[in-house]
Structure 1
Amino acid sequence: MNEVLWFASRATGTASIVLLTAVLVLGALTAGRRSRAVSQTVVVGLHRSLALGTSVFLLAHIVTAVAETYVDIGWVSAVVPFTAGYEPVWVGLGTLAFDLVLAVVTTSLLRHRLSRRAWRAVHLTAFALWPLALVHGYAMGTADQPLLRLVPVACAVVGCLALAWRAMSGTADHDRRRAVLVQEWS
């Protein structure tokens, strides 16, 4: 049974980082220039649905990692960073990422009760949780399973490309403002 939990933990962790990267990419598309090919509503809906799916896989990853007894990761270590008996730094980075996920999900669920500024401030922590999760996934990847190390690297490349595209593209509103500023006034 312990071996099944070990494989389940690795599989759900790998799925979590892939889904988290997809959520990041869709978030970059949503925040950037509006796509005319696909409805913005569809992209936002997919972003939210994948974020929920990511949370489910992440919870499964944490439960299986704590339940398997080969290494010492307790329930407290799932929410309190750097307290694991096994690889406390690398597990701690994953815990920090999870704590940030909790903050982002909670504020997203309460978005209608928060100011846009407060929600956005917390939501931007996703830019910190993603690299923390990548480093955790890479460092905790099993050395004799190169795919478990390759997935976080591939996700890093894809995510960085999406973030670079987002940084280089203006928003539709920004472009309209710039166009108005250069207009001649009669």
Structure 2
Amino acid sequence: MSSEDFWAAGRGFGVVALVMLTLSVVLGVVARSGRPVLGMERFAWQRIHRDAALTATGLVTIHVTSLLFDSYARLRLIDLVMPMIGAYKPFWQGLGTLAVDILIAVVLTALTRGWIGQRAFHVVHWATYALWPISVLHGLGNGTDAGEGWFIGLTIACCVAVVAVVAWRVGGRFEETASRRRQAMPAGDPRRLVRERSRG
């Protein structure tokens, strides 16, 4: 394969990785809901979320590996773990490195969840909310297709999807959030009684 082939592979897999990362974030939020969504229970959404996250991780791996062999990107092994020192667009490339570092941390804690405990897993897993926007900025600043209409449209669609599910999660209609609010209310609080009856 030529350098151009590796560049094309890195470019293509990077775009698809962004889509899968977006899908993983969306599915992760859906999986946290306590109620069935589209007729599927929480465990089913968790399984799909996990598969999407693993797919995204694989795509990022191929994206990065391909660019190691691209003479134009001039990516070095140290650039995979140390951000902001790259030869080509160091800041924007550094955001990609930072995203990879966070992804590695999330994957490792997911794989060692049984040993480190749920609390540590959830704390690190929240870093996904930083991983996603960093990845978007990396694509816009470092991506070859950043100025193309189709890429801008795709990025906007990803942003709309993530903003929508995050707004749903922090809103009162999200079952997990509503449950926590009910538990924080005193037992005799009329609002708690009304919300419990509305659930039933």
With the length of structure 2 as denominator, give the TM-score of the two structures: 0.84
For 2:135, the aligned partner's letter is A
Match of 2:198? none
For 1:166, the aligned partner's letter is R
For 2:163, the aligned partner's letter is C
Q: Describe the shift of the 1:59–1:173 C-alpha distance in structure 2 as closer, same or farther (beyond 3 A).
A: same
Cα distance in 1 for partners of 2:150, 2:72 equals 21
Match of 2:67? 65
User: Which of 144, 151, 154 is 2:154 aligned to?
Assistant: 151
Cα distance in 2 for partners of 1:19, 1:72 equals 26
Q: Is 2:143 the partner of 1:166?
A: no
Farther-moved stretch of structure 1 (25-34 vs 144-153): 144-153
* Matches for 1:1-186 after TM superposition, within 5 Å: 1-35=2-36, 37-142=39-144, 143=146, 145-168=148-171, 169-171=174-176, 173-174=179-180, 177=183, 181=189, 182-183=192-193
For 1:13, the aligned partner's letter is G
Farther-moved stretch of structure 1 (163-172 vs 140-149): 140-149
For structure 1, the 5+ residue unaligned runs are: none
Cα distance in 1 for partners of 2:66, 2:153 equals 22
User: RCO greater where, 1 or 2, for CA within 8 Å and sep 6 or more?
Assistant: 1
Q: Indicate if the aligned counterparts of 1:100 and 1:129 stay in contact, CA closer than 8 A.
A: yes
For 2:51, the aligned partner's letter is S
Could you give the per-residue CA deviations for residues 132-178 of structure 1, whole angstroms, max 9, x where no partner exists? 00100111232563323332222111111111111112416436636
Cα distance in 2 for partners of 1:147, 1:86 equals 24
Q: Indicate if the aligned counterparts of 1:137 and 1:149 stay in contact, CA closer than 8 A.
A: no
With the length of structure 1 as denominator, give the TM-score of the two structures: 0.90
Could you give the per-residue CA deviations for residues 108-149 of structure 1, whole angstroms, max 9, x where no partner exists? 000011121111110000011100001001112325633233
RMSD value, Cα: 2.0
Give the % identical residues: 31
Q: How far did residue 59 of structure 1 move?
A: 0.2
Cα distance in 2 for partners of 1:25, 1:151 equals 15
Q: Describe the shift of the 1:6–1:145 C-alpha distance in structure 2 as closer, same or farther (beyond 3 A).
A: farther
For 2:56, the aligned partner's letter is T
Q: Describe the shift of the 1:164–1:183 C-alpha distance in structure 2 as closer, same or farther (beyond 3 A).
A: closer
Q: Indicate if the aligned counterparts of 2:22 and 2:132 stay in contact, CA closer than 8 A.
A: yes
Cα distance in 1 for partners of 2:23, 2:75 equals 28
Q: How far did residue 65 of structure 1 move?
A: 1.4
